[in-house]
A = this chain, B = another copy of it.
Amino acid sequence: MRNALYFTLTLVISVCIKPTAAQDSAIIRNLYTRSLTNPVAYRNLEPLCKQVGGRIGGTVKAEEAVQYIKRLMEGMKLDSVYLQPVMVKHWERGDTEIAQIISKKRGTKDLNVSALGTSIGTGDKGINAEVIEVHDFLELQSIGRSNIEGKIVFFNRAADASRINPFESYGGAVDQRSRGPVQAARYGAIAVIVRSPVPNRSDFPHTGVTHYADTVKAIPAMCVSTNDADLLATWLKEDPSLKLNMIMNCRNLPETMSANVVGEIRGSDHPEEVIVFGGHLDCWDNSEGAHDDGAGVVQSIEILRLYNELGIKPKHTIRAVAFMDEEIAQRGGKAYAEFARQQGEKQIAAIEADRGSDTPWGFSMDASDEAMARVRSWMPLFKPYNIWFFEKGGSGVDIRELKSQGASLFGLVTDPQRYFDYHHCANDTYDKINPRELQLGAAAMATLVYLIDVKGL
């Protein structure tokens, strides 16, 4: 009799604690329904894009973004909302960025350009020099210092549009932006202009960080739209001695204090074990940072809302982080990892959303074979929601530091076709966000968080 009672109790408890597959399905269905029928993430994104707007680390706008997200989470009845201090670089674009072709044969022409992030300025008088077009660093070497010294190097290798995944197109061209200025300076170049590393043709210049080296003189660096890169190349063929007039007053200022914004619901069983998810709060100042990465921030916060509204109590602590300074030095990700280490927490899993908010396709995973197999066994639960894969791959730069703390890492993978139409340019605006697609991404992340929480990794 006592055994029977014990058995019954155990059954009741285990049903309460371990939901059945049908219960899981029902909860997941509710996560999606709530997300699609009440698109709160979509509404939360609008002020970040339209009232705050561009918000590169260290600026007043970045601070406004921190305060907006903090207020937003404070209004959500979470267990705690707090800031994590992050010391960040502070670069400002200034109000002038001009590149004008001056050709005796064809006349003058202003190009659509944008300073590269962390670029130094040109000084008030600007730079006026001949231009030499190159396509990779080997070509710099073969052309040699005598042909480069005193000139502006024009990196013009196009991103390969034939790649099915535009992230690969970008990956195959972005070295010109990130390392081109240092490489060109080694050969005596006095400035650099880089073709935007995107596969589409447009008039938008796509900025992004460039990395100077301590051992090489820093030279001013700007990007040019793909259309104007083609134009410059055409003019150069007709008039190799044309000159480019470059003026930029961007500048690097002293480092400044900023913050990650964190909100969490404490775990009922294992509060010291954390499932963390986030996007980055900073974005390039020339955009609204809608896809990159306001979307990832509001999607992460949406997971907490869905938990609250459905009354789901997580066993482990679930935590949304709006990371600061992804675009320049990833100080926010590092600060978070250091914070987690100091707290003595265990980070079970970390999910990053930083590939735009178009339709979710799946997740990349960076975890043990055992954990990845476990997650793959949940595929039938994701199938009704058109999640196509969980595949081994990089997760995201803001969470990568957590790998060494034993966390399984995940990245939300979305339809990539349009992402580089928006990336790091003035075209990354709120109207480019589709509410259903954004909310589907939030629901997919919430589903993964839920399954990790109840089933373990």
Contacts and interface: CB of A to CB of B under 8 A. Distances in A.
A372 B31 CA distance: 34
- Please indicate which of the listed interface residues A200, A361, A417, A434 has the most CB atoms of chain B within 10 Å of its own CB: A417
B437 A417 contact: yes
Interface in A13-39: 32-33, 36-37
A164 interface: yes
A37 B386 contact: no
A378 interface: no
Given A417-B437, A440-B417, A384 B32 contact: no
A415 interface: yes
A417 B200 contact: no
Nearest to A384: B164
Interface string A177-202: 00000000000000000000001100
A435 interface: yes
Interface string A413-452: 0010110010000000000001111001000000000000
A135 to B, nearest CB: 17
A166 interface: yes
Contact of A32 (B164, B386, B435): B164
Nearest to A418: B434
Residues of A in contact with B, size category:
20 to 34
Interface in A368-386: 384-386
A388 interface: yes
B386 A164 contact: yes
A161 B417 contact: no
A378 B257 CA distance: 56
Nearest to A164: B385
A417 B434 contact: yes
Nearest to A361: B386
A161 B434 contact: no
A208 to B, nearest CB: 21
Contact of A415 (B161, B164, B415): B415
Contact of A200 (B385, B418, B436, B440): B436
Interface string A283-301: 0000000000000000000
Nearest to A35: B162
A359 interface: yes
Contacts of A166: 436
A384 B421 CA distance: 22
A361 B32 CA distance: 21
Interface string A380-413: 0000111010000000000000000000000000
A162 B37 contact: yes
- Please indicate which of the listed interface residues A162, A200, A384, A385 has the most CB atoms of chain B within 10 Å of its own CB: A162
Contacts of A440: 164, 417
A197 to B, nearest CB: 16
A256 to B, nearest CB: 39
Interface string A146-163: 000000000000000110
Contacts of A421: 434
16 contacts: A32-B162, A33-B162, A36-B161, A36-B164, A37-B161, A37-B162, A161-B436, A164-B440, A166-B436, A199-B436, A200-B435, A359-B359, A359-B417, A388-B388, A418-B436, A421-B434
Interface of A: 32-33, 36-37, 161-162, 164, 166, 199-200, 359, 361, 384-386, 388, 415, 417-418, 421, 434-437, 440
9 closest residue pairs by CB, A with B: A33-B162, A417-B436, A388-B388, A417-B437, A36-B162, A37-B162, A37-B161, A359-B415, A36-B161
